[in-house]
Structure 1
Amino acid sequence: MKQQKDLIKSLILDFQKNLPLKIIPRNLALPIESGKIISVCGVRRCGKTFVLYDTINKLLKHKVRAENILFINFDDERIAFTEKNLDFIIQSYTELFPDIPFKEVFFFFDEIQMAQGWEQFVRRVYDKYSKNIFISGSNSKLLATEIATSLRGRTIPFEVFPLSFSEFCLFKDIDTNFYLQKNAAKLKNSFVEFNKYGGFPEVVLSGFKFYEKILQEYFHIMLYQDMVERYEIKNIAILKYYISRMLANLSKPTSVNKIYNEIKSAGIKCDKNLLYDYADMLESIYFLQRLCKHDSSVLKAELIKEKKAYFIDNGMINALNYSFTDDFGKQLENTIFLWLRRQSDFKRDIYFYKGKKECDFILFDRNKPVKLIQSCWSLSDPDTIKREIQGLTDAAKNLKCKDLTIVTSEEEDEIKAENFIIKVVPAWKLLLEKERTNTLSFSH
C-alpha cells in the first residue's frame, strides 16, 4: 500500500512541478466553473489530454495554485488502478497537502476508462469532495453507459477529434485569413496535405515524417487494447477482415449481411451478430461512424441494413489502405463528413439520400432538412457535373430543401438548375469560414 501511495504522490508532484504546460491551444474551451463533471471523449491520441492541459493553464491564469491541481493519467503503465486502490489518490493528496480543502481542488482524470470501478469513485469524489472534476476517455460507449447509470445529471459531455483544418493551419503556423490574396495559395496547398495526412497532432507536428508507421501503431493499440483485450475477442482474423472490407467500401452503402456472406462463402464459421458487435465496438472507439440512409421514419432509417461508413482520420485510412492514397474524391468526402460530424449540434442529424439519384449528405435541424451537400474533388468533367446536380435536385424536390451546395477541392461558382441555385464552394474555404464561427449557418 505504501509503495502505491508513494508512486501516486510522485505522479501528482511531478505533474505540478511542470506547470504551466507548453501547448498549442485547440478550438475547444472547457467550462471551468460549471459545477458539473466535465467529460471529454475522443479517439486515442487526438489531443484530449492537451485539452485538459489547456484547461489547467487557464486555471493557473485565474490564480488557481499548482498545488490545487490533481492530475492522474490512468493509462500510466507504472500503476494499475482498481476499485481497491482508487481511494489511494484521495489519501495521497491529503498526505501531501493536508491544509488544502478538497472543495478548492481541481481533479483531472485522463483515460479514466482504464480503471475498474472508476464511475463509483468519480461519483464519490463529486458527492463528497469537489465539484471540480474533469475526466477523459477513448471509448464513447463505455463512458456514456457508465455516465448514464452512475453519474446521471452530473456531467457535461464534450467530444475531441483530430485537428480541424483551422487547427491544422495553426499547428503549422499558417495564416488562415483567406481574404488576403497572399494566403490563398498556401491554404490550398495546406488543404491538400490535410486531406491526405489527416489531423492527428503528432503526425502534423512531425511534418508527416513516418506518418504511416505512427498511425499504424495508433491503430494497433486501438485494435488490441481497446477491442481485443477489453472485449475478449477470440477470432482476430474475422475482425481484421471486417475492418478491411469497411475500409475498402468507404462512403459506399455496405451491409453486415453482405460481409457475413463473403466470410461464409469462404468456408469460415462466423456468427452474424458478432459482426454487428464489431461495428458497434469500432464506432465506440471512434475508429469509424456509420451513416444511415434517410427515411421519413427515423426508426426505419436506423434499421435499414445498408449504411455508409466514414473514418476518424484520412491519414489513418491511407496508412491502412494504400489504394485510398490517390483517391482524392473519397478523401474529400471523408473530410467533409468529419467536418459535419464535429458540429456537435448536428451529430445525430446527418443522413445520406438515395432515391432516383444520390446525395452525399442531408443535414437536419429539429427534424427539418435544411442543407444538402455533394462532395466532389473536381467538376471539370461534364458527366460529373450532371451527376452531382441531379443528385442534389432529386433530393431537394423530395425533401423540399432549397439550400444546395457542392464542395470541391478549389472550384467556386454558382449553378442554376431547374428552380434551384447551387453554391459551388472550395473545401478549404468552407472549412475555415465555418470553423471561424464554430457553427453551421443555414438559410431557410
Structure 2
Amino acid sequence: MRKEVIKSLIAIKQSEIPFEVIERDVELPIDRKKIITIPGVRRCGKSTLMEIAINNLVKGGVARERILWLGFDDERLRNMVSEELDEVIASYMEMYPDIPIKDVYMFFDEIQLIKDWEYFVLRLYKTYCKNIYVCGSNATMLSTELSSALRGYPLEYETYPLSFNEYCRFKGITTNCFLEQDKARLRNAFEMYNQESAFPEIVLASSKSEQLKLLHSYFDTMLLKDLAEHYKISNTSVVRYFVKRIMANLTKPTSINGIYKDIKSQGLKVGKDDLYLWANYICDIFMFVRISKYDRSLIKEQKSLDKYYCIDNGLRGAVLMPQSNDNGKNLENTIFMQLNRMKLPSDKIFYYQGDSECDFVIQRGDSVTQLIQVTWNMADENTCEREIKGILEASTATGCDNLLIVTKDEEKIITREGKQINVVSAWKWLLQND
C-alpha cells in the first residue's frame, strides 16, 4: 500500500517538471557528487531551490524520469521509520526498471521527519547514488548538528527568506540605480521590505489580509508542529507567550531568567530549565538566530545575555501587531539577517557592550574584521553622538578600524579620533552585499 503512495507522489512531481519558479540568488550545484543539504526555516524557499536545480538538470538534457522527488511531510508517510526508507528506492525501481539508480537525481523534502534518516541517506550515497539533495526545517539538518554518521559528507546551503535583491526581483523592481527615478523606487521598495515579510509566498500574496492570514498560519505551524509537537511541549499557551516575549525584546540582550520571573508572577507554571531549552528550540527551528556579547574571555562571553533576531520582520509584526514605530528595530533585524546570509563558516557575529554599545562585531577566524552600527537616521544630534561613541569604543576594545554605520538613507564619511566612519544607506548596502 505504501509503495503505491510513494509511486504516486513521485509521478505527480515528475508531471510538474519544469517548475514555474522565480530564480533565487543562490543556486544548488549540479553533479558535484555530494550530498547537498538545504536547511532553513519553514516556507522560506528550500523546495524552490531544489525545483530550480531540477529545471537546470532538465535544460541540460536529463530526462524527468530520472528525477526522484519525495516529500516526507505527506501525512501518508509521517509514520514511516528509517528501516522502511528502502521502500522509496524499491518503488522507484519498479516504476523505472531500466534506469540505473546511479543515474538518478534524488530530492528528499523534509526528510528530517523520519528518525535516523541520515543512515539511509549515507548508505544510499555510498552504495547507489551520488546525486542526493535533502532539505528540512530543523537544525538537525545543519552541518554542526548532523548525526556523526553523516558529518563531513554534505555540502550545506542554508536558506533564508528573500534578500532585498530577491525581493525586488519578486516585485519586478529593477535594481539598476543609475537613474534618479530608479533610486526613488528602490528607496520605497526598501521601506516596504524593512517592515513587511520576506517569505516568498507572502511577497507574492495579492492582499494585506491574505498576507496576514498566511503569516499567522506560519507562526501557528512553527509553534504547534515544529516546537510543541516535535519537542513534546504540552504547555502551548506558555510557550506562545515565551516566544512573543523574545520577539518583543528584539535587538536587546534578553534575560531568560527575567522572562521566567515574569511568567511565575502571573501564576503560570513552567520550569526555568524548560525556558532555557525552549530558547534553544526556537533557534533550532530557525524562527530566531541568537548572538552573544563580544568578549576576549570565552567564559565571560558564555555568561553574557544573548540577543535574539527574528527570521522575518513581517512574521514578528503579524504576531505582535506593534503600535509604536518599529522601523529602527526592523532595520537592525534586516541588517543582521543579511550579515547572516553573507557569513562564511569561520565567521562569527557578536554585539559589543561596554560603557557604550555597538550593534555588530564581525569576527573572521581570530580577527575582528568589521564593526557595524545600525540606526534609522542620524538627524538627531544625541543619536548621532551615541552611535559614534559606541562604534569608537568598540574599535578601541577590538582593535578594528573598519567602521560602518547603516542608516535608512544617509551617506557621508565621519572622521573622529583619527578614525574614518563610513555612513551608508541601507538599501544600497543590502544590494552591494547580496
What is the alpha-carbon distance in structure 1 between the residues aligned to residue 169 and residue 277 of structure 2?
38
1:58-137 alignment runs, 5 A limit: 58-80=56-78, 81-137=80-136
User: How many residues align structurally?
Assistant: 432
**Which range moves more in the overlay, 206-215 or 145-154?**
145-154
Compute the displacement of 1:263 (Å). Answer: 2.1
Counterpart contact for 1:373–1:406, Cα < 8 Å: yes
What is the alpha-carbon distance in structure 2 between the residues aligned to residue 350 and residue 84 of structure 1?
40
Counterpart contact for 1:196–1:325, Cα < 8 Å: no
SS of the residue corresponding to residue 147 of structure 2 reads helix
SS of the residue corresponding to residue 225 of structure 1 reads helix
Give the direction of change, closer, same or farther, for the CA distance of 1:314–1:324 in structure 2 (3 Å limit): farther
Give the gaps of 5 or more residues in structure 2: none
Q: What's the CA shift string for 1:309-364, capped at 9, x where partnerless? A: 11000000100111266210001011011011111316851110111110001111
Instruction: Give the aligned partner of residue 261 of structure 2.
Output: 261
Compute the displacement of 1:300 (Å). Answer: 3.2
Counterpart contact for 2:38–2:159, Cα < 8 Å: yes
1:14 aligns with 2:12: yes
Q: In the alignment, residue 57 of structure 1 is paired with which amino acid?
A: N
SS of the residue corresponding to residue 150 of structure 1 reads coil
Q: In the alignment, residue 373 of structure 1 is paired with which amino acid?
A: I
Give the direction of change, closer, same or farther, for the CA distance of 1:312–1:213 in structure 2 (3 Å limit): same
1:226-375 alignment runs, 5 A limit: 226-304=226-304, 306-323=305-322, 326-345=325-344, 348-375=347-374
Give the direction of change, closer, same or farther, for the CA distance of 1:221–1:50 in structure 2 (3 Å limit): same
1:29 aligns with 2:38: no
Q: What's the CA shift string for 1:26-70, capped at 9, x where partnerless? A: 111111122211000000000000000011111112211111100
Q: What's the CA shift string for 1:105-151, capped at 9, x where partnerless? A: 01000111122332222122112210110000000136557633221
Over 4 Å off, 4+ runs:
142-146
Give the direction of change, closer, same or farther, for the CA distance of 1:70–1:246 in structure 2 (3 Å limit): same
Compute the displacement of 1:84 (Å). Answer: 4.3
Counterpart contact for 1:246–1:309, Cα < 8 Å: yes
Instruction: Give the aligned partner of residue 162 of structure 1.
Output: 161
What is the alpha-carbon distance in structure 2 between the residues aligned to residue 277 and residue 140 of structure 1?
14
Q: In the alignment, residue 243 of structure 2 is paired with which amino acid?
A: I
Q: What's the CA shift string for 1:221-275, capped at 9, x where partnerless? A: 0111111111110222221221121111111111111111222333333221111
SS of the residue corresponding to residue 38 of structure 2 reads strand
TM-score, scaled to structure 1: 0.94
Give the direction of change, closer, same or farther, for the CA distance of 1:240–1:411 in structure 2 (3 Å limit): same
Instruction: Give the aligned partner of residue 200 of structure 1.
Output: 199
**Which range moves more in the overlay, 209-218 or 146-155?**
146-155
CA-based RMSD of the aligned residues comes to 1.6
Give the direction of change, closer, same or farther, for the CA distance of 1:186–1:49 in structure 2 (3 Å limit): same
Compute the displacement of 1:11 (Å). Answer: 1.3
Q: In the alignment, residue 303 of structure 1 is paired with which amino acid?
A: K
SS of the residue corresponding to residue 254 of structure 2 reads coil
Give the direction of change, closer, same or farther, for the CA distance of 1:107–1:397 in structure 2 (3 Å limit): same
**Which range moves more in the overlay, 183-192 or 359-368?**
359-368
Compute the displacement of 1:78 (Å). Answer: 3.6
Q: 1:54 aligns with which of 40, 52, 55?
A: 52
Give the direction of change, closer, same or farther, for the CA distance of 1:386–1:22 in structure 2 (3 Å limit): same
TM-score, scaled to structure 2: 0.96
What is the alpha-carbon distance in structure 2 between the residues aligned to residue 379 and residue 143 of structure 1?
39
What is the alpha-carbon distance in structure 1 between the residues aligned to residue 279 and residue 346 of structure 2?
18
Compute the displacement of 1:293 (Å). Answer: 0.6
Percent of matched pairs sharing the same residue: 44
Give the gaps of 5 or more residues in structure 1: 436-444
Q: In the alignment, residue 409 of structure 2 is paired with which amino acid?
A: E
Counterpart contact for 2:19–2:55, Cα < 8 Å: yes
**Which range moves more in the overlay, 325-334 or 372-381?**
325-334
Instruction: Give the aligned partner of residue 224 of structure 2.
Output: 224
What is the alpha-carbon distance in structure 2 between the residues aligned to residue 11 and residue 206 of structure 1?
27
